[in-house]
Structure 1
Amino acid sequence: MKLIRSALPLGAPPRISRRRLLVGVGAAGALAALGWAGMSAVSGDGPLALVYRGPAACSGCAEAVAALLRSSPAGFRTEYCGPDEQRRISSDALAEAAVYAQPGGGEVRPAWRKLRDHAELIRDYVAEGGHYLGFCLGAYLAAAEPGFGLIDGKVDQYISTGGASVDSTDDTIIPVRWRDRVRHMYFQDGPTFQLRPGAPGTVLATYDTGAAAAVVATFGAGRVGLVGPHPEADRSWYADAGLTNPDGIRFDLGHDLIKSTMQGDGRAAGRS
């Protein structure tokens, strides 16, 4: 069982809890005319997904996000990027990636201090047609001040909202309504999202309060997929926390988030 710092929004006091995180690398690689779906169909080894792994994340989170991407119908190949990885976060690395994934993990402000030097690179990557996936802390970091500023709206802490069924940062299971079906998900102090009225975007899932638990939005020519709970949580997460998901351990919600983020007007091809 790994101890990690919970992901908290702007101004929240630091708390300690459990969970993991890392980064990965991804790449696209085919014909612009075919779009992203066609691209993955003709690419034998799949599009590249970059996953962050490093001090802004917690042990195990990056690996879980990478496994989710590899198991998705698109069949991503994944690479980790970060200060101690062979791949660093750079314009060249991002130019090869179909998607950049920021897993969950530590507190927002300390994580931001480790990532802020890369903010302009990541913003430019998405604005020019790239894709960003943010899980828990990675979703908090899509906000502005502090954060990458990738969402036209607000990112808040679910457990601090009125009527929230959970008021602790402990690892737990919560019900969400995902595309009008009630499902149970692994949760540890994840965020809610409120898009500005009129801002383009789709709510994939809501908490029991009606607040958004997963959204897909646009940023420039790119797309941003954010989720508060953990659709990437594997069997070891539940075993470590002594939790049982009544729906079983399934990854279809994570796959839906990935597909919904990648489809549409994203960058059709990168450099392989």
Structure 2
Amino acid sequence: MASGDIGFCDGYREGEWDTPDLAALLTVLSHNLDKIRILLVGNPLVRAFNNILHAFNKNTKAGSKRNIFAHYDLGNDFYGQWLDPTMTYSSALFQGETDLESAQTAKYAALAKLVDLKPGQHVLEIGCGWGGFAQYAAQTIGAKVTCLTISPAQAEYATARMKRHGLDNLVDIRLMDYRDVEGEFDAIVSIEMFEAVGEAYWDAYFDQVKARLKPGGKAGLQIITIRDDLFDEYRQRSDFIQKYIFPGGMLPSLEKLKAQAARVGLSPLKTYGSDVIHFGLQRP
């Protein structure tokens, strides 16, 4: 366990250890974190090395393109083999026993409700993936959607998807960094993209959310968070998610999100969830 939690995960990936029930094992470990936390931290030298690697993944505009290409441009066919039919790569909203596709659609509906999205309104989606929310907003609500992605593979797929469903008159897929978009929108939706931004660019992200909302406009952000009491320890070291899922990224705590909203003068709306939250904001 010299490499801590990263080494634990790498060992499983490389076949160095196995278990007949991975979910059960992780559940047991999660219930005993206080007892095993020292093992998850790992050797200081290994931890320092991982932190250096993480620092080189900083999400500048060029760094973001490099990181996104390494993760999402593995090929649309690869993701299509295990994602649901909406091609949604983020947490779903399960309301009772249902299938994954229905739970993803429920998530889209909840976010649209959070920003009070209406027919004819123009919504900006920061980090649109393969276009699942955009299709829902245009097809179900009749909203106009401007979608941002920096993944060429996602942009190609989403563009073809909108044409296939006759929605290309309502949905504009842009291969563009969120820092470069201009104009004002009735609403903003961003689904599990903030985690990849990186702490150094939290200010830039929230500055853009404020600047791109019309007065009275609302934003709905779905974000994976970490507990407030764990954040300071967490931010001191790289982990599995930062190495493999969000290179250069950082999970925020709810208090950090509230502080960013207050800094730019966005009023908080309702917040739903615990680990994965729907964080609602409104521009006065």
* TM-score normalized by the length of structure 1: 0.32
Between Structure 1 and Structure 2, the one with more strand by share is: 1
Between Structure 1 and Structure 2, the one with more helix by share is: 2
Answer with 1 or 2: which has the greater Rg: 2
- Greater RCO structure (CA 8 Å; 6+ sep): 1
* TM-score normalized by the length of structure 2: 0.31
